[in-house]
């Protein structure tokens, strides 16, 4: 065998386990979900009882007001989270990257530690913090002679409360990504800009931010994927309430499949979510592509 064929053979051998796992746990479930979405089926009945209905599930889902509200809530949650996470992660990343900051390693560890805590545990703790009866947040507001807030019990504040929870937990992760991007910027650019008279703000605007382009694109894409799949805090804290104000696509899919027994409709929702995510990410990457 030629050297090229030997290398190809060994490449296939080493890639086979990873490709096999991805196929088993990613591609096959996607294909199975798409197939179920074309049928009327309850998860509490055998697969042989499925009835083919074509695109009827998609038509029902798109015309469902609850699904439309969940789609709007998901979009709102994702956009607001990204608009807050990206500037904050850049700010903390630049702050912690400065060599004059003492204890920056400890600060990085503290920031990233919140991301390592399971989301369910974080949601339980924040549920206690948001409690209107004994929650520390409302108690502090009372001590400051400020009006207490209903937080998770208000249709206008419940989603914002979930967004704050998400930012608190994931900000450290995105800050670490920004720090990794900052390490790729050569010091020569900062030295040259300093000679030209640029201060800290000028260097940040004209050197740091432009050269962080690829990192910021990656951060936005990962944040979009993570926020569009939010489930744990909704399930633990609000169950989609009050009055569907925090009902998101993933929780609506869960309810439709496991509580209402409409696996076909839930699969159609999942396929629509996958298509929407793929289109959004592809469009964003094309728009932000560097020439």
Cβ–Cβ < 8 Å for 203, 190: yes
The reply to whether 27 falls in a domain is no
The reply to whether 24 falls in a domain is no
107 vs 76, higher pLDDT? 76
Give the containing element (helix H, strand E) for 92.
helix 65-97
The reply to whether 99 falls in a domain is yes
Q: Based on DSSP, count helices (H) and strands (E) in the chain, helices before strands.
A: 15, 2
State the Cα–Cα distance between residues 52 and 34, nearest whole angstrom: 12
The reply to whether 48 falls in a domain is no
The reply to whether 13 falls in a domain is no
Cβ–Cβ < 8 Å for 84, 220: no
Cβ–Cβ < 8 Å for 170, 85: yes
The reply to whether 138 falls in a domain is yes
Task: State the total domains in the chain.
Answer: 1
Q: Which of 7-16, 58-67, 92-101 has the lowest mean pLDDT?
A: 92-101
The reply to whether 5 falls in a domain is no
Residues 93, 99, 105, 106: is their CA dihedral positive or negative? Answer: negative
State the Cα–Cα distance between residues 106 and 62, nearest whole angstrom: 49
**HSE (CB half, 13 Å, CA atoms) of 120?**
1
Percent of the chain that is helix, strand, coil (3-state, to 5): 75, 0, 25
Q: Which structural domain, as residue segments, surrounds residue 277? A: 55-287
39: helix, strand or coil = strand
State the Cα–Cα distance between residues 235 and 222, nearest whole angstrom: 22
The reply to whether 3 falls in a domain is no
- Strand segments, DSSP code E, in the chain are 39-40, 51-52
pLDDT range class, residue 288, cuts 50, 70, 90? confident
State the Cα–Cα distance between residues 52 and 60, nearest whole angstrom: 15
| 201-239 pLDDT tens trace | 888 888 888 889 899 999 999 999 999 999 999 999 999
Task: State the CATH number of the domain containing residue 62.
Answer: 1.10.3720.10
| 118-155 pLDDT tens trace | 999 999 999 999 988 888 998 998 888 888 888 998 88
State the Cα–Cα distance between residues 226 and 281, nearest whole angstrom: 12
| 172-194 pLDDT tens trace | 999 999 999 998 888 888 888 88
* Closest to 264 in 3D by CA, of 33, 28, 65, 25: 33
| 16-66 pLDDT tens trace | 999 999 999 989 999 999 999 999 988 888 877 889 998 999 999 999 999
């Amino acid at each position: 065998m030629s050297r090229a064929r030997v290398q190809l053979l060994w490449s296939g051998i080493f890639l086979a386990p990873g490709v096999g796992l991805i196929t088993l746990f990613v591609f096959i479930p996607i294909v199975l979900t798409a197939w179920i979405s074309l049928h009327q089926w309850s998860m509490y009945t055998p697969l042989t009882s499925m009835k083919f209905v074509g695109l009827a599930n998609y038509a029902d889902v798109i015309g469902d007001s609850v699904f439309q509200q969940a789609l709007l809530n998901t979009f709102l949650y994702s956009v607001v989270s990204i608009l807050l996470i990206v500037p904050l992660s850049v700010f903390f990343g630049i702050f912690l990257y400065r060599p004059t900051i003492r204890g920056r390693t400890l600060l990085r560890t503290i920031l990233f530690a919140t991301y390592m805590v399971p989301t369910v545990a974080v949601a339980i703790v924040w549920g206690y913090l948001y409690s209107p009866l004994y929650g520390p947040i409302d108690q502090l507001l009372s001590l400051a002679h400020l009006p207490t807030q209903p937080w998770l019990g208000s249709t206008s504040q419940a989603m914002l409360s979930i967004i704050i929870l998400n930012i608190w937990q994931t900000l450290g992760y995105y800050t670490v990504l920004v720090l990794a991007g900052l390490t790729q910027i050569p010091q020569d650019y900062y030295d040259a800009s300093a000679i030209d008279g640029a201060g800290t703000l000028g260097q940040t605007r004209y050197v740091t931010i432009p050269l962080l382009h690829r990192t910021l694109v990656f951060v936005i894409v990962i944040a979009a994927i993570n926020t569009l799949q939010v489930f744990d805090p909704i399930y633990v804290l609000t169950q989609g309430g009050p009055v569907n104000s925090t009902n998101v696509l993933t929780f609506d899919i869960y309810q439709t499949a496991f509580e209402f027994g409409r696996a076909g409709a839930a699969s159609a929702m999942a396929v629509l979510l996958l298509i929407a995510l793929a289109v959004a990410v592809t469009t964003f990457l094309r728009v932000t592509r560097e020439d």
